[in-house]
Amino acid sequence: MKHISTWQWLGFAGLIPFITLSLLAFNHSVLSPEHTLLGFISYSAIILSFMAGTLWGKAVVLSPDDNIAKLLIVSNVIALGCWIALLTPFELSALILLFSGYLYLLFVEFKAKQLSNSASYMTLRTILTSVVALCHAVVMLSLYQ
């Protein structure tokens, strides 16, 4: 049996709020629709900001060049997008912004090959981002129920 690293199980554990709140978006017996959306959007913004922030840690250990500067700027732009998502009164706009941020961040990590330590990391990131994107789509659909 293969050993699961701490970073791997923490990544999967981080999906629990996304999946739970996605399911609750269609069942209002536990939380009101407003609280479900607030919980989902705020958790999503926090996690996406955290993930964007990891670009900083990865970028600063690499040799400085223009690509590193671009990664640092991308990290800040994504974090600002998260902040905007928290401020907008339009839930659909916030969800689309966050959804796009996750996909863009994954794209940036694939493109900046020097960031990925291993194929297993990028595989995990792809799985996690796919589940998170699906959860965002589910919550978006719940807005029209």
pLDDT above 80 (res 124)? yes
Predicted local confidence at residue 22, as pLDDT: 96
Predicted local confidence at residue 39, as pLDDT: 97
Exposure b/e, 90-119, CB count within 10 A at least 16 = b:
ebeebbebbbebbebbbebbeebeebeeee
Predicted local confidence at residue 99, as pLDDT: 98
Predicted local confidence at residue 145, as pLDDT: 82
Are 41 and 95 contacting, i.e. CB atoms less than 8 angstroms apart? yes
Query: Alpha-carbon dihedral of residues 9, 99, 88, 84, nearest 10 degrees?
Result: 70
Q: Please indicate whether residue 98 or residue 3 has the higher confidence score (pLDDT).
A: 98
Q: Express each pLDDT in 74-93 by its tens digit.
A: 999 999 999 999 999 999 99
Predicted local confidence at residue 55, as pLDDT: 85
- Please report, rounded to a whole number, the percentage of residues in the chain having pLDDT higher than 90: 68
Predicted structure pTM score: 0.92
pLDDT above 70 (res 9)? yes
Predicted local confidence at residue 136, as pLDDT: 98
